[in-house]
Amino acid sequence: MSEQSRSVQSRTLVKNAWKAFAGHDAERIAAVFTEDAEWLAPPENATAVALEGPGHLVGRDAIVRFLAVDFPRFFVRDVAVDFHGFYADGDRVTVEETMTATLANGNHYANDYCFVFELQDGLIHRVREYMDTARAHRMVFGGAPNTRDQV
């Protein structure tokens, strides 16, 4: 398979995975991840803190639980994703997006994200998530994040 064909296939896989994420269907979500998949978000990001969970999810079951159970419990309605781009290079796909939603506490949420998906054998093996963590913290908790570790 040519590099261009592999990139197109990778981009299609991630676009289809995103549809599975949006449906919160555990079986469909599980079908796109390797068993030992990882999802790495910024440490102590607002969602992880609010849900009292880790920012680094390890294993397909943990990722599925987050996307199928925890995510819809926290982002409760009006969830919308505006994709700005899907960029593929072989087995790596980068997604730029803006997500908006209503949170469980009634607050409005809107933040920009960048995700880097690393694929292995036609499945998602690793996701690295980037966002404006201070902005998210303000929307979730109404103030600046704890800066105890910053100088």
The values of phi and psi at residue 58, to 5°, are -120, 125
Evaluate whether 35 touches 59 at the Cβ level (below 8 Å): yes
Q: Give the separation between CA 123 and CA 47, rounded to whole angstroms.
A: 25
Q: What is the pLDDT of residue 90?
A: 93
Please tell me the predicted confidence (pLDDT) of residue 151: 38
| Residue segments in the chain with a per-residue pLDDT below the cut of 70 | 143-151
What pLDDT is stored for residue 142 in this prediction? Answer: 87
Confidence at residue 146, expressed as pLDDT on a 0 to 100 scale: 53
Give the model's pLDDT for residue 5: 87
- Tokens matching residue 112: 């920009």
Buried b (16+ CB within 10 A) or exposed e, 47-69: bbbbeebbbebeebebbbbbbbe
Residue whose entry in the numeric block shows the structure tokens 């790596």: 92
Read off the pLDDT of residues 81-113 as tens digits, 9 standing for 90 and up.
999 999 999 999 999 999 999 999 999 999 999
